Amino acid sequence: MTRYLKMFVLLAGLLLPVSGRAAIASETFYKVWDSSDRQLPIYGVTALAWDETGKYLYAAYQSSGCGLGVAKVSGTGSLIWRREETGGCGTGSWQAKDVAFDADGNVYVTGMKTTGTGNGAAEELFVRKFLASDGSQDPNWSHMEYGYSSNRGNAIAVHGTDIYVGGAKDGKFFIFRLSVSDSVAHWATTYSGSYLGSDSQLLDLAVDDSGTVYMVNRSIGGYWQFSKLHVNQDNSWWKYISPNNSSNTMGGTEKAKLIKYDDGSHGMLLIAAVSSGSAIGTDIIKVNPTDLNFPLKVTTVDGQVADMVADPSGNLVYAWQPTQATSLTSTTTGYRITRYLCVTNSNAARPCGVDLLEAADVSAVAAGTVEGVNYIFVGGSGTGLQALAQTAGINSPAVGSIQIRKNVINIKNGDKALILLRATGSSFSTLKVFTISGAYVGEIPASNVDSRDGLVEFDGKIDGKALTTGVYWITAYAASGEFKDRKRIMVLNEK
């Protein structure tokens, strides 16, 4: 039998009618993996960055003993490398605030290091570089900024060979530029103009394709303001633009996020999340970069936004802590991950905000595509890392059943199937694989599936051994051992 005839026969077997097919689901996200089921010793996550080209997730976190941790993880949850620098809680603790990477995959982390105690305590702004190959620190690259007090790096961005770092130095707005080849500051400025001085700091920054830097900062009295650096000039060209009125007060908070957003038709916008006046809510606003004086409100969130990102579909995803108990969060200590669908225009036909996840704590979010599927990555302290995958294009299973996205995979090409399970009151215990004739093959680990819905990846291997080419049954059983559902999948093991 020729190879093509064999594939035709297998496909014919795969496409035989199966009862109980359901309608196509709306855009929903389910957990695929987390730190626990991938055995990733990565907790205390404070910053995330996604490399769409290499399909890598970079995480900065506080390791045990208040040290500095950095990790490189694949989109499917495999640890590539991790590096940790020891600290000392109270006397030498590290706090990573932001992470970025260059075109070669080298990773840069900024934040603050606390030294000393009591009257001798001080904060130092740090920037570290970790090499793409194994995460080791570049021995010729390290940058520290010392001052009298309140020195911290809040944001970092890489554009070509330039690295921009912003934060505070001696309690004042501070920004400087480094190079990927060395850690010497090519210029640096501490600004304390009409509305910037003590207790001011740069909170976040973004760089457009031309190299222009946009910033959101906290000023005297808690006002938030936008700033803009024009490309290819020195610190003398620093231009200050201030939408200065009482409605812009941050109410004492130090949280603000700024990202680039391109909706495909209006060009690049800036999206910022800043505290609204009473410090119990957050305004998400959009700004045309050519005129920073007139921001437009997108929505108001009844809580504090910890981080936000634009997902691959062009929607806004933000992590936030509600100010009061809601139907999703029983207390104000929990966090939500919300996907906002109406950034450029409101759509009355559907809700704009869709809640995806509740977590005990969330500090960072990132988004990208893995195997053609949209993913959202979540990081926090006790939460560690979690990955949510979108089920658009997958059949929505009935309660107590499963469906499979990409049910034809080729092991040689590294393909993976996504198995969507919809549990009842008790968790799915096992996913068993059988040949089409009913011979038992083995089990697929499903440790990340609990009493809620979930997704399981399957790469065509059982206990590390690749299956031979053929059609197989994926069969789900409840914790009681009761049979629940089964679906066919075709596995190819040939080029």
pLDDT in tens, 367-380: 999 877 889 999 98
**pLDDT-derived band at 395, boundaries 50, 70, 90:** very low
Sheet holding 122-130, edge to edge: 94-101, 107-115, 122-130, 137-145
Specify which of 141-155, 210-224, 314-328, 449-463 reaches the highest per-range mean pLDDT: 141-155
* Better-predicted residue by pLDDT, 335 or 228: 335
pLDDT of residue 197: 47
Pairwise pLDDT comparison (144 vs 421), residue with the higher score: 144
- Kindly report, residue by residue over 403-441, the tens digit of the pLDDT: 787 788 899 888 888 787 765 545 566 788 999 888 899
Tell me, what's the pLDDT at 440? 92
- pLDDT above 90 (res 50): yes
Would you call 80 exposed, middle or buried from its count of C-beta atoms within 10 A (0-12, 13-18, 19+)? middle
Which region, left, alpha or beta, applies to residue 95 given φ > 0 means left and ψ of -120 to 50 means alpha? beta
| CA-closest candidate to residue 259, choices 220, 295, 221, 216 | 216
Report d(CA 109, CA 125) in Å as an integer: 11
Tokens encoding 46: 């404070």
Residue 221: the pLDDT is 59
- Residue 423: the pLDDT is 56
pLDDT for 67 equals 87
Cα separation, 109 vs 141, whole angstroms: 12
Q: Which of 10-19, 389-398, 473-482 has the highest mean pLDDT?
A: 473-482
DSSP string, 200-243: -EEEEEEE-TT--EEEEEE-GGGBEEEEEE-TT--GGG-EEE--
pLDDT of 130 reads 95
Q: State the pLDDT at residue 238.
A: 44
- Give the confidence band of 442 by pLDDT, cuts at 50, 70, 90: very high
In this model, does residue 329 exceed pLDDT 70? no
Inter-residue contact 315 to 339 (CB < 8 Å): yes
pLDDT tens digits, one per residue of 32-41: 788 887 888 8
For the residues 189-193, what does the mean pLDDT come to?
62
Comparing 55-69, 275-289, 423-437, the range with the smallest average pLDDT is 275-289
pLDDT band at 398 (very low <50, low <70, confident <90, very high): low
Task: Give me the mean pLDDT over the 93-116 stretch.
Answer: 91
Number of other residues whose CB lies within 10 A of the CB of residue 365: 25
- pLDDT score recorded for residue 18: 38
Confidence bin at 393 (pLDDT 50/70/90): very low
Question: What pLDDT is attached to residue 170?
Answer: 78
Over the stretch 244-260, which tens digit does the pLDDT of each residue have?
A: 433 444 433 455 778 77
Residues 6+ apart with CB under 8 A from 387: 31, 32, 33, 34, 75, 77, 375, 376, 377, 378
> Does the structure show a pLDDT above 60 at 346?
no
Distance CA 170, CA 289 (A): 29
Query: Closest Cα to residue 64, out of 44, 38, 82, 83?
Result: 44
pLDDT given at position 104: 94
Quote the mean pLDDT of the chain: 75
Neighbours of 247 (CB within 10 A): 9
Handedness of CA 200, 300, 204, 328 (dihedral sign): positive
What distance in Å separates the CA atoms of residue 99 and residue 365, rounded to the nearest whole number? 12
Q: What percent of the chain has pLDDT over 70?
A: 70
Which H helix or E strand runs over 154?
Answer: strand 152-159
Per-residue burial over 368-407, b if 16 or more Cβ lie within 10 Å, else e, is: bbbbebbbbbbbbeebbbbbbbbbeebbbbeebbbbbbbb
| pLDDT recorded at residue 195 | 47
List residues bridging with 465 in a β-sheet: 462
pLDDT of 287 reads: 76
Label residue 119 by pLDDT band (50, 70, 90).
low
Report pLDDT for 210: 80
DSSP 413: G
Structural domains of the chain, ranges and CATH numbers in brackets: 3-25+395-492 (2.60.40.1930), 32-390 (2.130.10.10)
CA gap 355, 319 in Å, rounded: 10
Which pLDDT score, from 0 to 100, does residue 463 have?
87
pLDDT recorded at residue 348: 47
Residue 17: its pLDDT value, please? Answer: 39
Residues 73 and 53: their CA atoms lie apart, in Å, by 14
Q: Tell me how far apart the alpha carbons of residues 142 and 113 are, in angstroms, rounded to a whole number.
A: 13
* Neighbour count for residue 213 (Cβ, 10 Å): 21
Question: What pLDDT is stored for residue 373 in this prediction?
Answer: 81
For residue 175 the two structure tokens come to 């920004």
For residue 131, the tally of other CB atoms under 10 A from its CB is 17
Q: Which residue has the higher pLDDT, 366 or 231?
A: 366
Give 445's contacts (C-beta < 8 A, 6+ positions apart): 37, 456
Q: Is the pLDDT of residue 240 over 60?
A: no
Q: How many Cα atoms occupy the beta-carbon half-sphere of 196 within 13 Å?
A: 26
Average pLDDT value for residue range 321-326: 67
Q: Would you call 6 helix, strand, or coil by DSSP? A: helix
Greatest extent of the chain over all pairs of C-alpha atoms, in Å: 82
Helix (H) or strand (E) holding 68: strand 67-74
- The arithmetic mean of pLDDT across residues 203-232, rounded, is 75
Question: Whole-angstrom Cα distance, residue 7 to residue 492?
Answer: 9
Q: Give the model's pLDDT for residue 157.
A: 94
Sign of CA dihedral 288, 292, 295, 300: positive
Please enumerate, as own/partner, the contacts of 229-235 that have beta carbons within 8 Å and a separation of 24 or more: 229/175, 234/187, 235/187, 235/188, 235/189
Residue 15 or residue 367, greater confidence:
367
Scan for tokens 């990132």, then name that residue: 366
Residues in the chain: 495
Has residue 461 got a pLDDT over 50?
A: yes
Most confidently predicted of 94-108, 168-182, 290-304, 392-406:
94-108
